Amino acid sequence: MSQPEPILQVRAVSKSFRDTLAVDGVTFDVAAGEVFGLLGPNGAGKTTLIRIMLDIYRPDSGSVSIFGHPMQRADLDRLGYLPEERGLYRKRRVIQVLGYLGRLKGLGAHGAVESADRWLARLQMQGYRDKKIESLSKGNQQKVQLIGTLLGDPAVLVWDEPFSGLDPVNANQVRDLLLELKQGGTTIILSTHLMAQAEALCDRVGLISRGRMVLCGPTPQVRERYGGSQTVIVTDAVLDASWAEVAEVLQVTEVPDGRRYLLCLAEDSSPEALARTLLERGNRLHELRLHKPSLEEVFLRAVRQ
């Protein structure tokens, strides 16, 4: 059985601004109904790439297709975009701003307010309906912006740092909303610096570094393929260069709580041989276990390369 066509296809996209190459030959797909994490450090090219995907910028080369064809004006009504920067009319009331954004999405005046009220209730924001934007906290302003992306029930959401300014309670509320939207079939492209959130929420991730896609795939496979194997050893021994005779130790990190070391061993090294030698030399071995790197550790390692 053939796989369904991706809802978004990015093919060899590049974009320069004068002498700066912001996006360099990036290719990836986003499947319908998945949460795709677009990750990368500041200045990596994520925002430029998002703006190309939304037809705000035109690429110098390459192509972007959505819903099976190049972007068209009518497609924008099926997208919800949350930019990293806040762009609300501060002197206006919440319902005025959301009503206006809904009308921009093609909703009638009544439909825009009805949709806004529904999402205000879902995010427990009814009490702020008639408040001016400038009177809201940063977190509640962020929730208003999120609601603005949901008006008209778009098929694809592109959220750039949706957890910005949110306290833990509101962050969990937005996290639950994202999972609810996914279960309802919405496709979500999530750009975030919060690796724990990305690891918990994203079906697949792509890491942008210096304008290039340096890794991409299902989240568990990215951790498995790019994380390598690490061994945690808790010992009284002082590990130094002489231990290279026993095992090829690529990295040693001492944890501040005492004689605890996080060792990254080469694939052909034997943690058992290292443990055996520790004991033979009279050292105490308190713990030996395999450590699977988190997405954040994979991210940091990939960016440093």
Q: What is the DSSP annotation of 26-94?
A: EEEEE-TT-EEEEE--TTSSHHHHHHHHTTSS--SEEEEEETTEE--GGGGGGEEEE-SS----TTSBH
Which residue type is seen at 122?
R
Q: What is the pLDDT of residue 1?
A: 44
Q: How confident is the model at residue 243 (pLDDT cuts 50, 70, 90)?
A: low
| Mean pLDDT confidence for 125-152 | 94
Q: How confident is the model at residue 6 (pLDDT cuts 50, 70, 90)?
A: very high
Distance CA 39, CA 198 (A): 8
- Burial string for 98-110 (b: 16+ CB within 10 Å, else e) reads bbbbbeebebeee
Which is more confident, 112 or 241? 112
Res. 49: pLDDT tops 70: yes
| Mean pLDDT confidence for 95-102 | 95
Instruction: Tell me, yes or no, if the two domains 8-89+139-224 and 228-293 fold the same way.
Output: no
- DSSP-based three-state secondary structure for 170: helix
| Mean pLDDT confidence for 295-301 | 77
> Nearest-5° angle of CA 205, CA 199, CA 33?
55
Compute how many other C-beta atoms are within 10 angstroms of the C-beta atom of residue 257.
7
Q: How confident is the model at residue 126 (pLDDT cuts 50, 70, 90)?
A: very high
Distance CA 112, CA 48 (A): 30
Q: What is the pLDDT of residue 241?
A: 64
Structure token pair of residue 250: 């690529």
Percentage of the chain exceeding pLDDT 70: 88
Res. 63: pLDDT tops 90: yes
| Mean pLDDT confidence for 247-257 | 69
- Which one-letter DSSP state was computed for residue 132? B
Which is more confident, 238 or 241? 238
Q: What is the pLDDT of residue 34?
A: 95
Q: How confident is the model at residue 305 (pLDDT cuts 50, 70, 90)?
A: low
pTM of the entire structure?
Answer: 0.81
Collect all residues with Cβ–Cβ distance below 8 Å to 234 and sequence separation of at least 6.
Answer: 259, 260, 261, 285, 286, 287, 288
Architecture of domain 228-293: 2-Layer Sandwich (3.30)
Name the CATH topology of 8-89+139-224.
Answer: Rossmann fold (3.40.50)
In the chain, domain spans: 8-89+139-224, 228-293
Structure token pair of residue 261: 């070391």
| Mean pLDDT confidence for 148-169 | 93
Q: What is the pLDDT of residue 239?
A: 67
Stretch among 55-64, 191-200, 267-276 having the lowest mean pLDDT: 267-276
Q: What is the pLDDT of residue 112?
A: 94
Name the packing angle between helices 168-183 and 138-150 (round to 10°). 10
Res. 91: pLDDT tops 50: yes
DSSP states of 197-220: HHHHH-SEEEEEETTEEEEEEEHH
Distance CA 304, CA 264 (A): 16
